[in-house]
């Protein structure tokens, strides 16, 4: 799934007079070219966008060198004006030697840096903004790197970022050095919040004199509003003496959750809530004093907005009093009874937090926390359901493919490999593929896909993440949905590549083969720190019925991470 598998906008201005015939030609050895939405209008083409987005093909879109830059400057470059053989041979936008990008060189034996500054960007209509761009560097080192900073309310004479302390409210959005992926255009996605005018600064630096020449190149800077509903939440601390808009189930056999009254000894434990850490605080609890029966209760979320489709995050705190670990279990379920999380009998006599990553589909937005108790007590407090990614996630690593591949890329092309493509069920094609994606559950949704159609030898396609080292400590866990069509020889495998290890040290940590189950299946696997995830899809050559699809990847901190489906960690789940 090279980035060129996505729709690319092309703008061309013709200044010659007289009659002109326009021809659009394509040349390729193996692939497909598509053209859509052609329009011809009189006059000059519109100016580049002023929102900070830029392809660098015809101009720098208002990006300039910062006043603190020394003799080394950012330039708008392409292979035709290249002064070095290791500069990018093609830009990212057009994939040609004539396409432009922004670049700065850090010469050998010099400690230096240079900042590329956007124009002052106006206060956006939506405070939640997303930045996407691609970088190209020749190598990776702990002493050389690239970072992006956000400057809020910039002064007319912009602050000297390199030598002065950053002003209050300024923020480093992204920074990599040794984890940079060299010699290829690599995507980056970050999100940020702004409520006033601001600037973006791209800073390339080298802090060593012992390394070869270094440069940073960037291309296809895109700034766009993140989904406006991201960050909306439904929460309840129970301190106002009610369940907010949450409710208990009234199904036959279910018992209600009760509100605490610790000041009057109900229940005896816990003696304090979690929110206030006082007896005056409230929580909900369920208690069973009979050893001869099991009681069940469900805490149901409010009916969610139908537009809440996609990622969601549920967090809550629990406190358990029990003698037998098997006497109490908590489960998080979606409206269609799909299990997202289970306590696995690891409940404690202290307030402990759980954070559960969910995917919501249209019409299936209600979430429930179900308790099953023998002789035990379970208490819940500070329940928060948020639309959007969990706090531990990093934008780009988690991806629903609705706007493209995020920061996932195909492995570098080599003999015997194919590519993953972003596809949707609405495409007019006779090629067998999933009719609907997992995110939206409709034919309009997108996923990544690899097929055996048109292949004449055994091949695999490898989808690669950036290095995964989340800012939040804990167990890193990848959750995803997949389909491996029921053809012998079709297999999806997960490899982990840790920094500093060669290709020969990659181990299969998860594998699943074809299944009679025709719907999306859930996969889950632990991700080591500072590792890259590699999704390897192996399909049967010249067999259009052999295909693999993947959707809704999320990587977050999850102490309850386990291998799904059962047996996949051993590498033999359905493999034949």
Residue scoring higher pLDDT (470 or 506) = 470
Domain 409-570, CATH:
2.60.120.200
Q: Phi/psi class of residue 56: alpha, beta or left (left: φ > 0; alpha: ψ in -120 to 50)?
A: left
Residue 546 carries which DSSP code? -
CA contacts within 13 A on the Cβ side of 510: 25
Q: Phi/psi class of residue 416: alpha, beta or left (left: φ > 0; alpha: ψ in -120 to 50)?
A: left
Digit-coded pLDDT (tens) for 203-213? 999 988 877 78
User: pTM for the complete prediction?
Assistant: 0.78
Q: How many CB atoms lie within 10 A of CB 530?
A: 14
Residue identified by tokens 């809704």 is 552
The answer on pLDDT for 73 being more than 90 is: yes
Residue 327 carries which DSSP code? G
pLDDT for position 570: 61
Phi, psi of 81 (to 5 degrees): -110, 20
Surface-to-core class of residue 9, CB atoms within 10 Å of its CB (0-12 exposed, 13-18 middle, 19+ buried): exposed
Digit-coded pLDDT (tens) for 538-561? 988 888 888 999 999 999 999 889
Handedness of CA 468, 470, 474, 475 (dihedral sign): negative
To the question of domain 233-387 being in CATH 2.60.120.200, the answer is yes
The answer on pLDDT for 390 being more than 50 is: yes
pLDDT for position 468: 94
Q: Where in the chain is the domain with CATH 2.60.120.200?
A: 64-225, 233-387, 409-570
259 in Cβ contact with 238 (< 8 Å): yes
pLDDT (average), residues 422-445: 77
1 in Cβ contact with 405 (< 8 Å): yes
pLDDT for position 412: 62
Please state which CATH class domain 64-225 belongs to: mainly beta
């Amino acid at each position: 799934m090279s980035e060129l598998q996505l729709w690319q906008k092309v703008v061309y201005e013709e200044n010659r007079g007289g009659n002109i015939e326009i021809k659009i030609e394509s040349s390729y050895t193996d692939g497909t070219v598509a053209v859509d939405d052609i329009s011809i209008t009189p006059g000059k083409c519109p100016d580049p966008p002023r929102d900070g987005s830029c392809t660098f093909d015809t101009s720098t879109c208002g990006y300039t060198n910062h006043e603190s830059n020394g003799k080394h400057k950012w330039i708008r470059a392409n292979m035709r004006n290249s002064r070095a053989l290791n500069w990018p041979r093609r830009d990212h936008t057009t994939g040609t030697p004539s396409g432009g990008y922004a670049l700065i060189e850090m010469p050998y034996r010099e400690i230096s840096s240079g900042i590329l500054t956007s124009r002052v960007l106006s206060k956006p209509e939506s405070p939640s903004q997303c930045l996407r761009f691609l970088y190209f560097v020749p190598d990776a080192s702990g002493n050389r790197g690239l970072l992006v900073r956000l400057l809020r309310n910039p002064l007319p004479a912009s602050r000297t970022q390199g030598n002065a302390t950053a002003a209050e409210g300024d923020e480093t959005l992204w920074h990599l050095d040794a984890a940079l992926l060299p010699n290829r255009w690599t995507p980056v996605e970050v999100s940020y919040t702004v409520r006033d005018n601001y600037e973006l600064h791209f800073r390339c630096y080298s802090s060593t004199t012992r390394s070869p020449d270094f440069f940073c190149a960037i291309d296809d800077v895109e700034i766009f509003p993140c989904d406006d509903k991201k960050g909306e939440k439904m929460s309840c601390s129970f301190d106002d003496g009610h369940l907010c808009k949450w409710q208990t189930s009234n199904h036959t056999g279910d018992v209600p959750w009760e509100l605490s009254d610790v000041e009057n000894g109900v229940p005896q434990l816990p003696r304090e809530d979690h929110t206030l850490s006082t007896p005056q605080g409230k929580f909900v609890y369920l208690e069973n004093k009979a050893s001869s029966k099991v009681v069940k209760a469900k805490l149901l979320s409010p009916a969610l907005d139908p537009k809440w489709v996609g990622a969601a995050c549920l967090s809550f705190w629990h406190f358990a009093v029990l003698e037998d670990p098997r006497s109490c279990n908590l489960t998080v379920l979606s409206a269609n009874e799909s299990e997202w999380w289970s306590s696995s009998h690891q409940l404690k006599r202290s307030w402990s937090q759980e954070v559960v990553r969910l995917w919501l589909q249209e019409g299936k937005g209600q979430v429930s926390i179900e308790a099953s108790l023998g002789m035990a007590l379970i208490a819940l407090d500070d329940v928060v359901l948020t639309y959007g990614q969990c706090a531990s996630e990093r934008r780009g690593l988690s991806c629903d493919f609705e706007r493209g591949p995020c920061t996932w890329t195909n492995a570098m092309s080599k003999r015997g490999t194919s590519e993953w493509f972003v596809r949707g069920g609405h495409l007019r094609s006779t090629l067998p593929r999933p009719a609907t994606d997992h995110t939206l559950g409709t034919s309009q949704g997108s996923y990544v896909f690899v097929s055996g159609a048109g292949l004449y030898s055994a091949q695999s396609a490898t989808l690669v993440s950036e290095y995964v080292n989340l800012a939040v400590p804990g167990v890193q866990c990848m959750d995803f949905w997949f389909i491996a069509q029921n053809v012998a020889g079709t297999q999806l495998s997960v490899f982990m590549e840790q920094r500093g290890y060669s290709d020969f040290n990659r181990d299969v940590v998860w594998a699943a083969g074809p299944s009679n189950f025709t719907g999306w299946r859930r996969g889950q696997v632990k991700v080591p720190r500072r590792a890259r995830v590699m999704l390897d899809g192996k399909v049967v050559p010249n067999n259009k019925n052999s295909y693999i699809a993947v959707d809704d990847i999320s990587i977050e901190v999850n102490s309850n991470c386990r291998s799904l489906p059962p047996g996949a960690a051993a590498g033999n789940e359905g493999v034949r």
